[in-house]
């Protein structure tokens, strides 16, 4: 018998209509601190890998597990975050995630061997993997509908500042202090976030306390997403035909097929896949995936270009990349307010068009390109990212029923991990292929390397063009309640 999802579930908590952002500012700051801490930590650790190699006298291949262990733990726990939030309450789960991440940071700082550091990084990943999806779900539920875009815009700032500030902070700490401080820096931030969150975050009611844990889904989901992320990431080292690459992808695909079949048949699925029956949601998330491929898939290009081709240090690279993040941080709140007035289509189209222009400029990289030449396209790209990212993400959540928001954030987080990993690996493979083609059997000159980076940006530009065209399919405005009516009807009938 068809049963309305809205009727079956407790009423979703929502911030009071007409309330100001200042009314939820303390809770917003707790969520932003947590998100910023987890994103910043990832880029800080990447820069410190050579230092770990000298300290622990371990090969770079073994040290990759410091990053891979965190990545796999995050990918495994994201599918569970929705059920945990629905069952135990979002505030409680978010605070536990903060404690896990902060405790993991403290333990990493006292690690005496590389294997010990890997284990503590896994603990960090279990907490860090839940911070983004659970934090986003909390803000979406407490923000007044008419100011939801602005609130999510502020939440998006750490997503762009973290990757830019990470190399700067890491390089500075490694120069003036020692490697444990790249983890110890998380302690005051984490403790502050826990205290502020405990006092300020509302005790959101659990949505589905009577639902049983989907045990087969709990086992299959983490295996599927973690294996896919692992297999795809291995392609940059072992190649696409390497045993670790093929093995990881094969296990991931088999587990993913079984997971999808289970979730579609389960009465209380771990991840609610039936939201894809909504045309609004399916088109919105497909647009988001294309944008993730174009933007996140090319994040590594400029740092690699500056360090390998131009010879800059990680600290200098971080300083050069700062304009990108600063401009994005300035435009993101503007995009959020624009979203609240006109919906997602306008700011996302404007943002992706700006990104296209910046990618076109970067497709002309050459041996003569200077740092000054890079600053303009990087700043332009930051403006486009700030205008497009959070409006589209908020539109995706608006396209789902309110009482399924926790499940949808875990769904989008899991998918984005896989899509971003596939995009990075694909563009890295393309970059290697262009190196070979532009060298034309001769020595690898600076011109050949720079041209290869430009070629990859040219390819990524067409992905962004496809995302911009998909933007035309987005609804101009969501319903006044904050839920896409077609999505509510489709999911209600499916359930």
Rg of the chain in Å (alpha carbons): 22
Using CA atoms, how far apart are residues 449 and 434, in angstroms rounded to an integer?
8
Task: Check residue 291 and give its pLDDT.
Answer: 92
- Mean pLDDT, consecutive 10-residue segments, the chain of 495 residues? 36 48 71 84 76 79 75 80 81 92 94 91 90 82 72 73 78 84 91 90 65 79 82 78 89 91 83 82 90 86 84 80 85 86 89 95 90 91 90 82 70 80 83 87 86 94 94 69 43 40
State the sign of the Cα–Cα–Cα–Cα dihedral 424, 461, 475, 153: positive
Task: Check residue 406 and give its pLDDT.
Answer: 67
Task: Check residue 483 and give its pLDDT.
Answer: 45
Instruction: Provide the 10 A C-beta neighbour count for residue 486.
Output: 16
Cβ proximity of 251 and 231 under 8 Å: yes
CA angle 287, 289, 294 (to 5 degrees): 100
- Nearest Cα to 338, choosing from 327, 328, 330, 346? 346
- Nearest Cα to 50, choosing from 182, 161, 162? 182
Give CA separation, 450 vs 322, 345, 382, in Å. 21, 35, 21
Task: Collapse the DSSP code of 159 into the 3-class scheme (helix H, G, I; strand E, B; otherwise coil) and give the result.
Answer: helix
Task: Check residue 48 and give its pLDDT.
Answer: 79
DSSP letter assigned to residue 344:
S
Task: Check residue 428 and give its pLDDT.
Answer: 84
Task: Check residue 209 and give its pLDDT.
Answer: 54
Instruction: Provide the 10 A C-beta neighbour count for residue 429.
Output: 15
HSE-CB at 21 with a 13 A cutoff on CA atoms is 16
Task: Collapse the DSSP code of 367 into the 3-class scheme (helix H, G, I; strand E, B; otherwise coil) and give the result.
Answer: coil
């Amino acid at each position: 018998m068809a049963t309305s999802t809205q009727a079956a579930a407790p009423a979703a908590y929502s911030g009071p209509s007409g309330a100001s952002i200042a009314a939820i500012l303390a809770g917003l700051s707790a969520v932003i601190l947590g998100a910023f801490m987890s994103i910043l930590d990832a880029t800080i650790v990447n820069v410190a890998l050579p230092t770990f190699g000298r300290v622990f006298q371990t090969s770079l291949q073994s040290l990759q597990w410091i990053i891979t262990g965190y990545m796999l733990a995050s990918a495994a726990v994201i599918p569970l975050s929705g059920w945990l939030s629905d069952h135990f309450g979002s505030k409680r789960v978010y605070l536990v995630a903060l404690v896990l991440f902060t405790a993991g940071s403290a333990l990493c700082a006292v690690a005496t061997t590389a294997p010990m550091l890997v284990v503590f990084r896994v603990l960090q990943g279990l907490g860090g993997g839940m911070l983004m999806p659970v934090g986003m779900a909390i803000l979406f539920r407490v923000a007044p509908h008419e100011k939801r875009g602005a609130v999510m815009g502020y939440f998006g700032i750490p997503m762009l500042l973290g990757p830019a500030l990470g190399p700067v902070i890491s390089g500075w700490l490694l120069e003036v202090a020692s490697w444990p401080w790249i983890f110890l820096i998380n302690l005051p931030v984490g403790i502050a976030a826990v205290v502020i969150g405990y006092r300020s975050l509302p005790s959101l009611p659990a949505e589905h306390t009577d639902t049983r844990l989907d045990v087969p889904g709990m086992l299959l989901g983490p295996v599927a997403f973690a294996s896919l992320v692992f297999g795809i990431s291995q392609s940059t080292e072992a190649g696409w035909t390497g045993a670790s690459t093929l093995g990881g992808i094969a296990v991931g695909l088999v587990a993913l097929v079984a997971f999808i079949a289970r979730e579609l048949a389960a009465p209380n699925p771990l991840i609610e896949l039936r939201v894809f029956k909504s045309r609004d949601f399916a088109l919105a998330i497909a647009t988001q995936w294309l944008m993730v491929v174009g933007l996140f898939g090319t994040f590594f290009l400029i740092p690699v270009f500056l360090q390998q081709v131009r010879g800059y240090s990680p600290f200098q690279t971080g300083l050069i990349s700062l304009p990108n993040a600063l401009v994005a941080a300035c435009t993101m709140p503007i995009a959020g307010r624009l979203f609240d007035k006109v919906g997602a289509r306008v700011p996302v189209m404007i943002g992706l068009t700006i990104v296209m222009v910046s990618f076109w400029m970067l497709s002309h990289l050459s041996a003569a390109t200077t740092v000054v030449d890079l600053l303009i396209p990087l700043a332009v790209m930051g403006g486009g990212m700030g205008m497009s990212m959070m409006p589209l993400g908020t539109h995706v959540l608006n396209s789902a029923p309110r009482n399924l928001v926790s499940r949808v954030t875990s769904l989008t987080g899991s998918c984005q991990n896989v899509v971003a990993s596939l995009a990075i690996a694909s563009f890295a493979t393309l970059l290697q292929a262009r190196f070979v083609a532009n060298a034309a059997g001769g020595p690898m000159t600076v011109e050949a390397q720079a041209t290869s980076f430009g070629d990859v940006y040219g390819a990524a530009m067409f992905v962004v063009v496809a995302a911009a065209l998909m933007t035309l399919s987005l609804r101009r405005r969501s319903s006044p309640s904050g839920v896409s009516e077609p999505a509510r009807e489709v999911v209600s009938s499916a359930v």
